[in-house]
Amino acid sequence: MKLRLGAAVLAFTGLGLTACGSDDNSGLPGAVRFSPKDVDCAPGDGTLLASGSSAQANAMEIWVNSYQANCAGGRINYKATGSGAGVQEFLQGTTAFAGSDSELSPREVEESRSVCRDGGRAIHLPMLAGPIAIGYNLPGVDDLVLDAETLALIFDSEIGRWDDPAIARLNPDTDLPDLPVTPFHRSDGSGTTDNFTAYLHEAAPDAWPHEPDKAWRGRGGQSADGSSGLVGQVQQNEGAISYFELSYAHQNEVDTVRVATGADEPVPADVDTASNALAEADVTGADGDLVLTLDHATREPDVYPIVLVTYEIVCDRGNAPGTLPLTRAFLEYTAGEQGQRDLAEIDYAPLSDGIVERVRARVEELS
């Protein structure tokens, strides 16, 4: 079966990043100096407010810092409030665009008509993709294989110890410790949670009966705020397991699971396997809306099944005149060759050629 995916964001003030919450994005490459042909800077000294999830936080840090280092005047203030909160701020008219890891509901699209002038409405602009890694802390185990059913049982508190037979069957050559399994999930509304639980629901429906949601619906477990909060809990607790964007795992040297999908070999979470998933995506949005559909239950070789697509949510027309030039200029840069090229260095998958060309054309049409 196929599943619709979504977007995200974080917070920046001036040339630096101000995270709202606990997300820590240190250790990233600095601002990129690029050729003037790579971006058409917006005129004037405007300030752009945006907010949303933390899934694309590391990409946004580089994008904002690089844009501001190369374009005098415009300032971008972007806050990691979570996908749900970011969408609500956009629908209240307090931000120029939002990030969401999930598709807006029909009700939210209809509500956006009161914010978007001139008969406009909210649309989805996919801007990047990335694997949702399953990170764990298991002494002596640096290569762990799990499948959708086992992950569902772990995160629904049906498997309680690491030497459980279900885990042992997937790791026959691994000496699994007799430790309690401690699953951690997001405490805040999160598109990462929505996409992770969508994978569980699609790939292991009998083991995960809960509907996908930004709010955690599984039973038991412990919680933490933001992706970096989950990373911190995994680092601090032996036997812990959680889900977060791959860039957080790599920055913090957290081991990640290879996922058994039914292909010949378990699939690691990396940029290449996420790109393979993105290459299979279809644009299923209508009337210029660029919602993508990916297959979370894929069994194709070298295709990672837990991939999150990040959208920027913006009015197709009727954007606030005071911020429209800066909104368009910034999104033209992020969807441009330089902005997309910066992604692979920080564990994100750039958009495929066919999709990114449609995004660029849609950004040019914003009014």
- The share of the chain scoring above pLDDT 70, in percent, equals 90
Q: Are residues 41 and 120 in the same domain?
A: yes
pLDDT digits (tens, 9 = 90+) for 198-246: 999 999 999 999 999 989 999 999 999 988 899 999 999 999 999 999 9
Where are any strands of DSSP class E within the chain? 3-4, 12-13, 16-17, 47-52, 75-80, 97-100, 122-136, 145-147, 182-186, 222-224, 240-245, 255-256, 258-260, 282-283, 292-294, 307-315
Whole-prediction pTM value? Answer: 0.79
Q: Are residues 89 and 22 in the same domain?
A: yes
Residue ranges making up the domain that contains 184: 132-275
Whether 8 and 99 have beta carbons less than 8 Å apart is answered as yes
Decide if 302 is inside a domain. Answer: no
Number of structural domains in the chain? 2
Decide if 303 is inside a domain. Answer: no
Q: Are residues 62 and 107 in the same domain?
A: yes
Decide if 330 is inside a domain. Answer: yes
Q: Are residues 60 and 182 in the same domain?
A: no
pLDDT (average), residues 16-25 = 37
pLDDT digits (tens, 9 = 90+) for 153-173: 999 999 999 999 999 999 999
Decide if 357 is inside a domain. Answer: yes
Decide if 136 is inside a domain. Answer: yes
Decide if 298 is inside a domain. Answer: no
CATH of the domain at 246: 3.40.190.10
